[in-house]
Amino acid sequence: MVSDTARYWRRLDDQRIQCLLCSHACILVNGARGHCNARENRAGSMILPQYAWISSIAIDPVEKKPLRRFMPNTWTYSVGFWHCTMDCPFCQNWEIAHPVRIEKDVIVPERLIELALESGCPSISFTYSEPTLHIEYVIEAMQRAHSRGLKTILVTNGNILPDPARDILLHTDATNVDLKTSDPAIYRDLLGGEIKVVQKFIQIAAELCHVEVTSLAVPGVLDSSDHIEEIAKFLASISPDIPLHITRYHPAWKFSRPPLSPETVHGMGVAAKRHLKYVYAYS
Ligand code: SF4
């Protein structure tokens, strides 16, 4: 049965509600949508105006998620939604994360899993935009995937509060989480997330499933060996076995600064390797 009932919210007074899904904890008056534009207060209840609206489907190597130590050399059926809980001005998928216009292409979870099985892929990935924003759909799809023998992958910014984090990670076999900078003020003021919330998500993920982390090397955000060492030390405090991917940003959306040099990204990889066993620096 399709379940489009919103979870993770509470009623306040005067038909106001509060969303309890991500770090924004939006308070919504009747008729308003949250910061993400994907969860709405209708007459004092939360609704999901874009439930099952799929933006993208592709078949990717699992290494593209990126995951390097989970089902290597396999393909994964990759699905994206619309919108995001964060506002990184260099978003590499801004066309679907911060869309000017969206298209209604509805695929219910049951049908999605049939399509994934027809593809022959051994796993399904929720990726491209921010899947946790569509947690009700993703959990149902993951349950259906498991019942049909598919592994489940979640590619996320991790900016989701602990209770929903546990709920979705209980159905996740592997996750790749963005850890975007070691600076709490940049996280909050420029990117629209909370570093403590993301760090907690990674801790919970390490208890419940396979976890790898991606840090995008962006000038002025994450651009030095000192920055990446702080991230590597945090991950090592959970487990030095957590793989870290350092990827090189390309100018996109509101950000036009030139990318860091390959040598800088390589140097960041060397610095992270002082603390972690598996570091992949892409330049
Ligand atoms: S998911 Fe986050 S941004 Fe969206 S309504 Fe809920 S608290 Fe606000």
Supply the DSSP symbol for 216: E
- Is there an atom of ligand 1 within 6 Å of 32 CB? no
Q: Which residue has the tokens 């869309």?
A: 99
Does residue 213 contact residue 177 with C-beta atoms inside 8 Å?
Answer: yes
Peptide bond into 184 cis (omega under 30): no
Q: Which residue has the tokens 């066309």?
A: 95
Task: Pick the residue whose CA is nearest to atom 5 on ligand 1.
Answer: 34
What domains does the chain contain, in order, with CATH numbers?
Answer: 9-47 (no CATH), 56-281 (3.20.20.70)
For 250-269, the pLDDT digits (tens) are: 999 999 999 999 999 999 99
Compute the distance between CA of residue 173 and CA of residue 152 in angstroms, rounded to an integer: 5
The average pLDDT across 42-62 equals 97
**What is the side-by-side order of every strand in the sheet holding 17-19?**
9-11, 17-19, 27-28
pLDDT tier at 194 (50, 70, 90 boundaries)? very high
Q: Which residue has the tokens 């308070």?
A: 27
- Structure tokens given for 21: 């899904």
- Is there an atom of ligand 1 within 6 Å of 83 CB? no
For 2-24, the pLDDT digits (tens) are: 456 899 999 999 999 999 999 99
First to last CA, the chain: 45
- Structure tokens given for 259: 């990318």
Compute the distance between CA of residue 229 and CA of residue 22 in angstroms, rounded to an integer: 27
User: Three-state DSSP class for 281?
Assistant: strand
Amino acid at 225: S
User: What ligand 1 atom has the least distance to the C-alpha of 85?
Assistant: 3
The share of the chain scoring above pLDDT 70, in percent, equals: 99
What residues pair up with 210 in beta bridges, in sequence order? Answer: 174
Does residue 194 contact residue 35 with C-beta atoms inside 8 Å?
Answer: no
| Residue 118: pLDDT over 90 | yes
For 58-114, the pLDDT digits (tens) are: 999 999 999 999 999 999 999 999 999 999 999 999 999 999 999 999 999 999 999
Q: How much distance in Å is there from the Cα of 268 to the middle of ligand 1?
A: 33
Task: Pick the residue whose CA is nearest to atom 6 on ligand 1.
Answer: 19
- Structure tokens given for 267: 């140097």
Task: Pick the residue whose CA is nearest to atom 7 on ligand 1.
Answer: 25
CB-neighbour burial class of residue 101 (10 A; exposed 0-12, middle 13-18, buried 19+): exposed
Which residue of 23, 29, 35 sits with most ligand 1 atoms within 8 Å of its CB, as the best mutation to test the pocket?
Answer: 35
